[in-house]
Structure 1
Amino acid sequence: MKKIIYLLILIALALLIVIAYDLADVHSQKTSTDVNTENTLAKKVNTTNENKIKLKDVYTNLPYDISQVNISRIGADGFSRVEVFDKNTSKFIEAYGEKAEPVSKSDILDKLNDISKISKLTIYKERIDGSAVTRLYTVLTVYSDGSFRQIESIDKAYWEKASDGDWKLENPHASAISTIGSFPTTEIETSGTTTIRMKATLFTVGLLNSSGFDVFSTTGNTYYLRKIVELGYRYSLY
């Protein structure tokens, strides 16, 4: 009987050692994965260290270490777009866009009677979540005279879908202000939040979960997910 008890104790100790080793190995793998993930993603920087990049007529602040990203530029017919990618993984991070358009006489302010000096400037910032591409837009009225330019007003700020698919935006909120608190100004700041609601199947729900979506309802083999997203940016004329 004593031999049996002794044998059982040895088996129990062996099992404890194996379990402890497995837990340590899992922790080691998780730590390694976390570190590798951190090293391959471009790091954000403090506001004071942000890099200013130019689109066509306006500048925006890039909140990433410029040495860790690649920047791609697209431009045609008054439209300019800057796409930012992680240098190590080639993963898309975000994009900025700008388009200037002339205005009609009825659109301009009474005091600005030279229509050739007034333009409507539409700017945006873009993000991707799963298959959902969203943009936060701001529309500005800009006065230009030679090298002198100023923002006369913010016409509107709004969210918009920028990709097709079985998803929609819910509870969109957007606001834009002059950074000096009044107009005219040379810099504006826009911020907003919205909820992406998406439908998925058993085959795609896991991928969306890994992109930050949470399942809130199911019907048969159909899953309904949502994710709260936010964007913010500053655009300046100089």
Structure 2
Amino acid sequence: MLKIKERVLSALLALCFVLSIPFQASAEEVVSTQKVKLKLTYVDIPFSESVNLVRSETIDSAKVEVFDTKTGELLNTYRETIEKQQKKSNINSITSGDYYIVTTTNDRTDGPSGTQAVTRLTVKMNVYSSGGFRQINSIESKTMAVVNSGSFTLESVDTVAISATGSFPTTGIRANGTGVITKKMTYTSLWEFSAGLSAWKMAEFNITYQDSTAKEFYARKPISVSLNYSLY
């Protein structure tokens, strides 16, 4: 009888342990997003109490900056510019409305303060608009690159942009770019080398030494930049 009770107790303890794991993991994996208006589209931005959004707008563009509320550091910048296309005369066409080339970007910032790489994912699309009706006819191009100075390079770049509904015309786009930010660092003193090494590691860069006796190394970081946006 004692052995049976011990087995039952062990099984209950094991069950409680197993049930506790999914709850903790799911709580960590939940990511909330908020839909923010640009010019013609809405962009999905991860929501967190630790970030602050600042939006600005002109006649043909809009920008949303995402700041860390604790440090004031700029984390991401979402932009959209629109360019109205000249209509082609066609006597057989009765279609009203306007066509636009819409360029949407997401800038991601990585690196120690003062030496940061700005990586930009850019998607251009052809958008038709008539009154309250709009649709994305096609994706014109998709690119990802480091856009600031600082001798950064972006390796192993891959970009994808697809219709959110599976075909065109569509009302939404899903885009993603991946790559590896790379920068070679060279220092003149051992103290600078040690401080620089610590700073790049804290910025979550992987370090590769060029020479164990030289004061230089390569800092690399795999990154992923996404753009999820819709017309409504």
Q: How does the TM-score come out when normalised to structure 1?
A: 0.72
* Correspondence for 1:119: 100
Distance 1:206 1:175 in 2: 34
The one-letter amino acid of 1:70's match is N
Distance 2:109 2:96 in 1: 37
Secondary structure of 1:208's aligned partner: helix
Q: Give the superposition deviation at 1:170.
A: 1.0
The one-letter amino acid of 2:147's match is A
By relative contact order (CA 8 Å, sep 6+), the higher-ranking structure is 2
Q: Which deviates more from structure 2 when the two are superposed, residues 209-218 or residues 151-160? A: 209-218
Task: State how 1:219-238 maps to structure 2 within 5 Å.
Answer: 219=211, 220-238=214-232
The one-letter amino acid of 1:81's match is K
Query: CA RMSD, aligned part only?
Result: 2.5
Give the structure with the larger helix fraction.
Answer: 1
Distance 1:112 1:64 in 2: 44
Structure index of larger Rg: 1
Asked if the contact 2:79/2:105 (under 8 Å) is kept, the reply is yes
The one-letter amino acid of 1:129's match is D
Distance 1:172 1:112 in 2: 41
Task: State how 1:164-183 maps to structure 2 within 5 Å.
Answer: 164-183=149-168
Asked if the contact 1:45/1:64 (under 8 Å) is kept, the reply is no
Secondary structure of 1:182's aligned partner: coil
**Residues paired across the two proteins, number:** 190
**Deviations 1:91-123 (CA, angstroms, capped at 9, x unpaired):** 3222211011133568xxxx9886971110110
Q: Which runs of 5 or more residues in structure 1 are unaligned? A: 1-42
Q: How does the TM-score come out when normalised to structure 2?
A: 0.73
Asked if the contact 2:97/2:131 (under 8 Å) is kept, the reply is no
Q: Which deviates more from structure 2 when the two are superposed, residues 172-181 or residues 209-218? A: 209-218
Residues 44 and 145 (structure 1 numbering): CA distance in 2 closer, same or farther, change over 3 Å? farther
Q: Give the superposition deviation at 1:216.
A: 2.0
Distance 2:128 2:44 in 1: 22
**Deviations 1:159-197 (CA, angstroms, capped at 9, x unpaired):** 022211111111110001111100111101001101111
Secondary structure of 2:198's aligned partner: helix
Distance 2:153 2:43 in 1: 28
Distance 2:155 2:28 in 1: 28
* Correspondence for 1:4: none
Q: Which runs of 5 or more residues in structure 2 are unaligned? A: 1-26
Distance 1:75 1:138 in 2: 19
* Correspondence for 1:74: 56
Alignment partner for residue 46 of structure 2, among 53, 63, 78? Answer: 63
Q: Which runs of 4+ in 1 moved over 6 A?
A: 111-116
Distance 1:164 1:210 in 2: 21
Secondary structure of 2:159's aligned partner: strand
* Correspondence for 1:195: 180
Distance 2:81 2:96 in 1: 18
